[in-house]
Amino acid sequence: MISDVSLLAAFLVGLLGGVHCVGMCGGIVAALSLGLPEQQRTGAARWKYLLAYNLARIGSYTSAGALLGGIGWLAANWSGLYQLQQGLQLLAALFMVALGLYLGGWWLGLSHVERAGGLVWNRLEPLGRRFLPVKTPTQAFLLGLIWGWLPCGLVYSVLVWSISTGDPLYGAALLFSFGLGTLPNLLLMGVAAARLSARVRDPRTRRIAGSLVILFGLYSLYRLIR
């Protein structure tokens, strides 16, 4: 099961993980903004493209959360083992600690997970390139659907968390909350790319974000063992 506190935590992980989101997706968002026709690069017109892209990206996260939550449900119900679900929750908490270490730059083990995801991405990325340069909000939306599957240790960590819920609806809610947390950073990236990119790449920003995510993971471990 998952609580409202977990949904809030997922939102905050997405928000704090913005230092990584800008690094992974910021170039795509910046290219989307800078590649627009000149008359579309300012004002409400630009926001239509950014919102279309990001809402589709969050939709992909939510679908993946539902899928992994469903896998967790099948695993727990087929085995009939309560211990299995506890084991998945333990794995999710450990992944959260690993994510914090990754964000802070103290341990880069999750980069291996991202490289493994690259095997799938190699097949999807050419499809995404068909929508570049983006000329319409519909193209931006379709691009977001594809780029939502970009290999990312941050997303993968929350997906492991969604497996531990053992419920497709809760898994979807968890990833939706996480996706909403990533939204402010990537929307701002589309508006003020250079300035925001410099700020989030500051090692101090990354260490603060990483430390807070580690605390989330440690708190989850505490709840499991108390």
Higher per-residue confidence, 158 vs 76: 158
- Angstrom CA distances, 186 to 22, 36, 142, 222, stand at 6, 17, 17, 32
Higher per-residue confidence, 200 vs 7: 7
CA-to-CA distance for 81 and 69, rounded, in angstroms? 16
CB atoms within 10 A of CB 155: 27
CB atoms within 10 A of CB 207: 16
Q: Residues 159, 64: contact at Cβ < 8 Å? A: yes
| Tokens matching residue 114 | 């991202």
Q: Residues 142, 114: contact at Cβ < 8 Å? A: no
Local confidence band at 69 (pLDDT 50, 70, 90 cut-offs): very high
CB-based contacts of 77, cutoff 8 Å, min separation 6: none
Task: Tell me what the pLDDT averaged over the chain comes to.
Answer: 78
Q: What is the pTM of this model?
A: 0.79
CB atoms within 10 A of CB 108: 11
Of these ranges, 57-71, 92-106, 128-142, 146-160, the one predicted with the greatest mean pLDDT is 57-71
Q: Is the pLDDT of residue 74 over 70?
A: yes
CA-to-CA distance for 29 and 11, rounded, in angstroms? 20
The amino acid that residue 205 corresponds to is T
CA-to-CA distance for 182 and 18, rounded, in angstroms? 6
* Residue whose entry in the numeric block shows the structure tokens 């919102």: 51
Angle at 175 between CA 156 and CA 193, to 5 degrees: 80
Please give the residue range of the domain that contains residue 157. 4-225
Local confidence band at 92 (pLDDT 50, 70, 90 cut-offs): confident
pLDDT of residue 105: 80
pLDDT tens for residues 154-169?
A: 888 888 889 888 899 9
CA-to-CA distance for 134 and 142, rounded, in angstroms? 10
Alpha helices (runs of H) in 36-81, residue ranges in sequence order: 43-79
As for how many domains the chain has, the answer is 1
